[in-house]
Amino acid sequence: MAIRRLHREYQDLLENPVYSCRAWPLPDKGMLEWKGVVTGPADTPYAGGTFELLMHFSVEYPFKPPKVVFVTRIFHPNISSTGGICMDILKDNWSPALTISKLLLSVCSLLADPNPSDPLVPDIARMLLEDPERFEAEARAFTARHAMERLLGNEPSAVSDDQYSETDP
């Protein structure tokens, strides 16, 4: 079921791209391993940055959320130095009705509107609350250092039916 659902979602992403976000399965890893790319939202300290994500889907998807991590380092109160993301839909608020498109939009929303009341990095959350100008300067500098002019590799234009079978692990 997971493979079939992921294949449908990939086709939907190709036909209805999400603004400033892309995701695709890694051909050498099967349909359960995906790469995502999120462009930093305008008017945020992440603007101009390109942030790479890795997404791992279990065979229980869509009934279990994917594991999603940032590969690109980012200065954000809800994203750890190891790329872990504190976002409710990746935990208790996951629903099988959610899709990769909605997940990508939620990541973009988290970049545009950090949640300092539920941080993974308390020091960054405190800076955001107590000294927002310093937070913005630090986040911009971090974005310039880690998320600009990165070579992300070429994404495939399509996934053929014979490339991934329903029996993939």
Q: Please state, in angstroms and rounded to a whole number, the distance separating the CA atoms of residues 118 and 95.
A: 20
CB atoms within 10 A of CB 65: 22
**Inter-axis angle of helices 132-146 and 122-130, to 10 degrees?**
130
Q: Please state, in angstroms and rounded to a whole number, the distance separating the CA atoms of residues 166 and 169.
A: 9
Residues forming the active site: 86
Q: Please state, in angstroms and rounded to a whole number, the distance separating the CA atoms of residues 37 and 49.
A: 10
Q: Please state, in angstroms and rounded to a whole number, the distance separating the CA atoms of residues 7 and 27.
A: 12
- Residue 160 sits at the vertex; the CA angle it makes with 8 and 5, to the nearest 5 degrees, is 20
